Homo-oligomer: A and B are copies of this chain.
Amino acid sequence: MGCKIEEFKQEQKKRMRAVQDSMDVLNGKWKIAIITSICCYGKRRFSDILNDIEGISNRMLSKELKELEINQLIKRTVLDTQPISVQYELTEHGDTLQTIISNLTDWGIVHRKKIVGS
């Protein structure tokens, strides 16, 4: 039955789109570092994250934070300090990424050993 094959192909397409959706969210040079920084401390201010991640510029931090917020992974809160500061924390949805990040971490370690041997 060609039917079954077609169904299978459709299923595959859906799955590939889903993986791509995840990758789109996680792509960008600093996304994962930012998520890690925030989730590590629970709550984190802009300047804290800027210090946590070596090499990132305020321009990129701002840009990536905005994208993470659009994807509802982090929540942004303006604190009434003088001067103002802004706090970022993971949303519940953002928290669900932890399994993936953990898997990626484990695999990355094995992979590096495999490739570089260290």
Contact = CB atoms under 8 A, between A and B. Distances in A.
Given A16-B32, A20-B32, A36-B16, A107 B100 contact: yes
A25 interface: yes
Q: How many identical subunits does the complex contain?
A: 2
B72 A115 contact: yes
A108 B22 contact: yes
A27 to B, nearest CB: 7
Interface residues of A, number: 38
Contacts of A71: 111, 115
Interface of A: 12, 14-23, 25-27, 32-33, 36, 40, 71-72, 93, 96-97, 99-101, 103-112, 114-115
